Amino acid sequence: MGKHVVVGSGQVGTHLATKLLAQGHEVTVVTRSGSGPAGVHKVAADVADMARLTEVAKGADVLYNCVNPQYHRWLTDWPPMAASFLGAAEATGAVLVILGNLYPYGPVKGPMTEDLPLASATPKAQVRAKIWKDALAAHKVGRIRATEVRGSDYFGPGATDQSHLGGRFLVPFRAGKTIQLVFPADIPHSWTYLPDVADALIVAGTDERAWGRPWHVPTSDPLSFRQIGERMAAIEGRPAPKLATLPWPLVQAMGLFSPMVRELKHVRYQFTAPYVLDSSAFQRTFDVAPTPIDEALAATLKA
């Protein structure tokens, strides 16, 4: 068994650390507060402190970047943290596994594959793209071994209330009330199950075939908000929920008082046209499949 250092204990990091621990690995979880799931070694540290992160990662086989600054702070918080991860990976020899996302692709036509250019011109997407480009450049010259794993919008046990299928969807669903959406209800969209994200990260860190390129997490066929609600209702044997989409001008007005709501304008394109993730490369290479959607939704409802 190996030593794995998971940086971040949010909706992905917690799943990842728990799965690694269950597999018998030595697991260290690094957060600013020193939090983490039971059974792991917990370390409080500033991730942007390269010397401290290097110290914590000494002897590690894999270093996972699962941190996620608040969206409105990406431009200031990500660069020093990304540099710290690169430095720690180079100094320790640990494989660097980056939890990425799809923002750098920007608006696309057709399913998203890993060979698409990171073409988005928005500053926040460019910050995320640079994290991977710098890691890949270091990998290519032999300074580190690195890979990046990308998923679509997360759902499942442990999803935050900010998730589009998290509390703001589940709370009214469970109460039998109308679900208020900020985006259209009937646009196909890919949803990535949190336990599948953790599984993909583990494969990426431990299978050398994954190193040196990005991968998409195994993800089921796209479903609209309405289809998700209908399938959840069928699982529980209840009528389909009512959905209502807030007028976009109202959402923009709400953004005057909420930094998170204000940032929704940057991802609106993902929900006003089909947003489809192609994960066939990962599935084919590593012989894995996404958790069946109804099984994943049932687990989400039980959480």
Q: Which CATH architecture has domain 3-152+191-216?
A: 3-Layer(aba) Sandwich (3.40)
Task: Assess whether pLDDT exceeds 90 at residue 126.
Answer: yes
Could you tell me the residue ranges of all domains in the chain?
Answer: 3-152+191-216, 158-190+221-302
Nearest partner of 123 among 68, 180, 74, judged by Cα: 74
pLDDT value for 266: 79
Q: Is the pLDDT of residue 258 over 80?
A: no
Task: Judge whether residue 254 has pLDDT over 80.
Answer: no
- Where does the pLDDT of residue 267 fall: very low under 50, low under 70, confident under 90, or very high at 90 and above? confident
Mean pLDDT of 227-237: 97
pLDDT given at position 71: 82
Question: What pLDDT was estimated at residue 250?
Answer: 77
> Which whole number is the average pLDDT over 170-193?
96
User: What's the pLDDT band for 179 if we cut at 50, 70, 90?
Assistant: very high
pLDDT tens string 101-113: 999 999 999 999 9
Instruction: Tell me the pLDDT band of 253, cut-offs 50, 70 and 90.
Output: confident
Average pLDDT taken over every residue of the chain:
95
Share of the chain above pLDDT 90, in %: 88
Write down the CATH number for the domain with range 158-190+221-302: 3.90.25.10
Q: How far is CA 240 from the centre of its chain?
A: 28
